[in-house]
Amino acid sequence: MSTDNAIETHDLTRRFGDFTAVDHLNLSVPRGQVYGFLGPNGCGKSTTIRMLCGLLLPSEGDIRVLDLDIPKQAEALKRRAGYMTQTFSLYRDLTVRENLEFVARLFGLSRQRTRQRVEELCHRYHLEALAGQLAGTLSGGQKQRLALATAVLNQPELLFLDEPTSAVDPQSRRDFWDELFALTDAGTTLLVSTHYMDEAERCHQLAILQRGRLMAQGSPERLKADVDATPLLVATAAPRRAQTVLQALEDVRSCAQIGASLRVLVSSPDQLPAVRDALRKEGIEGKVDITDVNLEDVFVAATHGHTEGES
C-alpha cells in the first residue's frame, strides 16, 4: 500500500447481527486534505470512523491508518490521531481549563508544556474568557471549539470529526471550517462526516455513503462533472401540483421544491421536452431550463434507485 494515503481500507465491513452497517468499503484518504463523508443518518459514517480509530472491530476487511494496521496497532494510533465525537464527550462538571489539563495529562505532557499548550489552545479557539467556566454551561459553538481544542491537543497527524457541526449555528460553522483549513495548512489530515451539502462542498475529497456502501468518491468538482444526471429548474405558479405530475414520470429521478420553483433531476438533457410536455398536458404553466449541477444533485444521483426498503 502507498504511504501517500493517510487512510486505506479494503473491503471494510461491519455487521450488527443481521444488519450490515458498513458494506465492503474501499477508501483511500490522501494526506493533508479534508476528506468528507457525506451521507444520511444511519449510512455507516460513525461506524466507519469508529472502526478507523480502532474503537470497533471490523467484521471483515483490512484497515491501514498512518501506515498502522488497525485494529492491531490501535494503541499506537491513539498517540497520533485525534477524535472529535458526535456528542459532546468532555466533562460538563469541569471547567474549560480543567478539561484541557486533564487531556494534556492523559497524553503525558509535562506540567510546563501543559500550561503552555492550554494557553495556546485557549487563544487559538477563543476560549480565554471562558477558561474558568464549566463546560456544561457553554453554548453549542463554544462546546465545539473546546472539543476541537482537546482533539488537537496532542497535535495529531490525523483528525477524525464525526458530524462536528450538527449542533452549531451557521456563523460558528463557518468559523469552525476556517479552523479546519488552518489545520490542513499545518499538514494535518482531516476526516469529517457531515450531512450538510455546503460543508461537503468545502472538502478536498468526498465519499458519498449510503446504507454502508460507497456510492461515489472524488473531489466535489470531479463528482459534479462526472454526474450522469441533469438538473432542471421548473419555474411555475403551481409547484405542488407540478411536483405530483413530474414525480409520476419514469425518467424523473427526484423532484424537490425550492421556494417557488422545482428542482428536477433527470437522466439526460434529452428528457427536457418530455418534462415540458407532461406539464403542458396537465395545463400547468411553467418554464423549464437546464441548470448547473450542484452537490445535492450528485448526492441524489448517487443514492437514488438504491433507496428501496429504506425505513
Partner 1 sequence: MSDRFSFSRLLAVVIKELRQLRRDRLTYGMIIGIPTLQLILFGYAINMDVRHLPAAVVDQAQTQTSRQVVEELQQSRVFNFNRALHHAGTGEAMLRRGEVKAVLIIPADFERRLQGQRPPLQLIVDGSDQVVQQAARQIAQFPLRGATTTAAVEVLPYYNPHRNAPLNTVPGLIGVILTMTMVMFTAIALVREREQGNLEFLITTPLSSAELTLGKVLPFVAIGLIQTSLVLLLGKWIFQVPVRGSPLELYLAALLFIIASLALGIFISTLVRSQFQAIQAAIFTFLPQILLSGFMFPYEGMPKAAQWIAEVLPLTHFIRLARGIMLRGAGLADLWPELLALAVFAVVLLGIAVARVHKRLD
Q: Which residues bind partner 1 (CB under 8 A)?
A: 50, 53-57, 75, 78-79, 81-83, 85, 87-92, 103, 106-108, 150
Residue 79 CB, shortest distance to partner 1, in Å, is: 6
Distances 113 to 193, 203, 229, 246 between C-alpha atoms, Å: 31, 33, 54, 63
Q: Please state the closest distance from residue 265 (CB atom) to partner 1, in A.
A: 37
Query: Residue 56 or 302: which CB sits closer to partner 1?
Result: 56
Identity of the residue, 72 or 92, whose beta carbon is nearer to partner 1 in the bound complex: 92
User: Would you say 78 or 204 has its CB closer to partner 1?
Assistant: 78
- Closest approach of Cβ 43 to partner 1, in Å? 18
User: C-beta of 67: minimal distance to partner 1 in Å?
Assistant: 19
Nearer to partner 1, 37 or 83 (CB): 83
Q: For residues 100 and 63, give the distance between their C-alpha atoms in angstroms, rounded to a whole number.
A: 30
State in angstroms the smallest separation of the CB of 71 from partner 1: 8
What number of CA atoms fall less than 13 Å from residue 108's CA on the CB side?
2
Residue 220's nearest CA partner among 236, 233, 208, 204 is 204
Taking the CA atoms of the chain, what radius of gyration do you get in angstroms?
A: 23
Nearest to 191 by CA among 158, 153, 149: 158
State the nearest-atom distance from the C-beta of 141 to partner 1, in Å: 18
Distance CA 111, CA 108 (A): 9
Nearer to partner 1, 189 or 254 (CB): 189
Minimum distance of partner 1 from residue 19's CB (angstroms): 13
Would you say 12 or 229 has its CB closer to partner 1?
12
Grid cell in block for residue 244: 405530483
Contact between residue 96 and residue 132 where contact means Cβ atoms under 8 Å apart: yes
Lookup: cell for 58: 471490523
Beta bridge partners of 9: 63
**Three cell numbers at 80?**
497520533
Round to whole Å and give the CA distance between 168 and 177: 12
Report the residue number, 7 or 90, with the smaller CB distance to partner 1: 90
Classify residue 226 by its DSSP letter: H
Nearest distance from residue 234's CB to partner 1, in Å? 44
- What is d(CA 254, CA 229) in angstroms, rounded to the nearest whole number? 10
102 versus 196: smaller Cβ distance to partner 1: 102
Residues whose CB falls within 8 Å of the CB of residue 128, separated by 6 or more in sequence, listed in order: 122
